[in-house]
Amino acid sequence: MAFADPAHELTPAQLKEALDGGEVELIDVREAYEWEAGRIPGAKHIEIERLASRADDIGQDKPVVFMCRLGVRSAMAMQAFRASGWDAYHLGGGIQRWADEGRAIEPDGGYVAEH
């Protein structure tokens, strides 16, 4: 069963444009060690198991984009938040696709950690 909904899945290029324009809030739902290894600049870290208890930390004034390593966890988060009224999306292919396309990861020397 696929969790991804293509209508609400962003490409790295679409996400970069939205981030550059300040149009979205990016939430990285990966584990702490994955976040420490490398992350997309501008992301906010909330591990997936903490999302429900931290929902109030995620504004509804602009769209929210969830991301993980490959897009599976972020798709689940997106679906849950859409069901609760957020204008939610996720990064298709995750940070792995972002990095594979040569986009910036922080900190310097950052990398995509294996799950």
Q: Give residue 1's pLDDT.
A: 25
Q: What is the pLDDT of residues 11-24, one digit of tens each?
A: 999 999 999 999 99
Catalytic residue among 68, 77, 78, 95: 68
Q: Give residue 6's pLDDT.
A: 65
Q: Is residue 37 part of a domain?
A: yes
SS3 of the chain: CCCCCHHHEECHHHHHHHHHCCCCEEEECCCHHHHHHCECCCCEECCHHHCCCCHHHCCCCCCEEEECCCCHHHHHHHHHHHHCCCCEEEECCHHHHHHHCCCCCECCCCCCCCC
pLDDT at 112 over 80: yes
Q: Is residue 60 part of a domain?
A: yes
Q: What is the pLDDT of residues 45-67, one digit of tens each?
A: 999 999 999 999 999 999 999 99
Q: Is residue 52 part of a domain?
A: yes
Q: Is residue 108 part of a domain?
A: no
Is 68 noted as a catalytic residue in this protein? yes
Q: Can you give the CATH number for the domain in which 57 is found?
A: 3.40.250.10
Q: Give residue 114's pLDDT.
A: 86
pLDDT at 96 over 60: yes
Task: Please give the model's pTM, rounded to 2 decimal places.
Answer: 0.93
Q: Give residue 115's pLDDT.
A: 67
